[in-house]
Structure 1
Amino acid sequence: MQQLMKQAQKMQAQLASAQAALADAEITGTAGGGLVTVKMTGSGEFRSISIDPKAVDPEDVETLEDLVSAAFTNAADEVRKLTEQKMGPLSAGLGGMGLPF
């Protein structure tokens, strides 16, 4: 039982470390060949958006909206990949111990 408690404490420390690494990571999502760039933290918190003036056409707002949406989607996909990379091994370990994750 003591061995199990030590293992759980170790995994808890690893989980906290992985969560801190995710919060500190900066993820960039782009669309339109870099016309729109979105920056987020690894935990999914929005940081900034950059729109190249070439992407702004008052006659075609829909394209700009699509580029912004695509950049957010790209950034969210990168956050998801980073989360799986950092947290995946920990989740597998918890499941292997019969604990919910």
Structure 2
Amino acid sequence: MSKGQGFGFGLGKMKELADAFKKAQQVQENAKKLQEELEQMEILGESGGGLVKVVLSGNQEPRRVEISPDAASEGAEVLSDLVTAAMKDAYNKSTATMRERMEELTSGLELPGM
């Protein structure tokens, strides 16, 4: 290996490695905080212009379903479609939120050798 590459015993590389471990530890601590945040978060999915609403936590745990009387009068098949569409909407919003938050959490993390 040429000088300055790899994880030799040079002090510069040891400092890089120590910095990487510090960053990784910080990411781990922030990930725990993010998990707690996601558990408290409520993400709303809707369909039929708000006739059916589904609420999930930020980590996709179902919280509640709200069905308007107007939706209920549409019949079982239409109501089923509305609930499914609202669930998909909430799921898509939840996964997008999780992805965005994880990208924020790990941005700027550069581990040597990766």
Name which of 68, 71, 75 aligns with 1:55: 71
Alpha carbons of 1:79 and 1:67: their partners in 2 closer, same or farther (altered >3 Å)? same
Residue equivalent to 1:65: 80
Partner residue of 2:39? 23
Question: Quick one: distance in 2 between partners of 1:33 and 1:84?
Answer: 26
Equivalent residue, structure 2, for 1:79: 94
Query: What secondary structure, in the 3-state scheme, does the structure 2 residue paired with 1:29 have?
Result: strand
Q: Give the Å deviation of 1:90.
A: 3.2
Question: What TM-score comes out, normalization by structure 2 length?
Answer: 0.75
Structure having the larger proportion of residues in helix: 1
Runs of 4+ in 1 over 4 A off after TM superposition: 91-94
Deviations 1:7-40 (A, max 9, x none): 2111111211222211111001111011101111
Counterpart of 1:34 in structure 2 is 50
Larger Rg belongs to:
2
Normalised TM-score (structure 1) = 0.84
How many percent identity over aligned positions? 34
Q: Alpha carbons of 1:93 and 1:23: their partners in 2 closer, same or farther (altered >3 Å)?
A: farther
Q: How many residues were matched structurally?
A: 96
